Amino acid sequence: MKEFKYVITDELGIHARPAGQLVKKAMGFKSTVSISCPKGQADCKRIMAVMKLVVKQGDEVVLKIEGEDEDAAAKELEEFFKTTL
C-alpha cells in the first residue's frame, strides 16, 4: 500500500472540475484509490463520493493506493495534486 498526504492549496478546494479529473486519473489504474479528510473517506473512482467530502482550501487529505500498479498510481496522483490542487 502506498500513501501520501497533501494540503489543498486551490482556493476553491476540490470542486467539480478537479474532482472529475481526479476520478478520471484514478480510473486509469487497477489499484483501489481512496481519499480521506477530516470529514470522511471516499473512493476516488466515484465522483459523487469525492464531491460529498466538500474538501476546502487548507484541508489535509490522505490518499491511499493499494494494488498491482500502486507505485505508478501513487506517483501520478501525487503529481496531479501538486500541479492541480
| H or E stretch at 22 | helix 16-27
| pLDDT tens-digit series, residues 5-20 | 999 999 999 999 999 9
* Integer Cα distance of 65 and 68 in angstroms: 10
> Annotated catalytic, 15?
yes
Question: Residue 17's pLDDT is what?
Answer: 93
| Residue tagged active-site, from 6, 10, 15, 72 | 15
| Burial 2-35, CB ≥16 within 10 A → b, else e | beeebebeeeebbeeebbeebbebbeebebbbbb
| pLDDT tens-digit series, residues 23-67 | 999 999 999 999 999 889 999 999 999 999 999 999 999 999 999
Cell numbers linked to 62: 490522505
Amino acid at 73: A
Question: Residue 7's pLDDT is what?
Answer: 95
Three-state DSSP class for residue 8? coil
Question: Residue 85's pLDDT is what?
Answer: 87
Question: Residue 25's pLDDT is what?
Answer: 95
Amino acid at 56: K
What's the pLDDT band for 84 if we cut at 50, 70, 90?
A: confident
Question: Residue 50's pLDDT is what?
Answer: 94
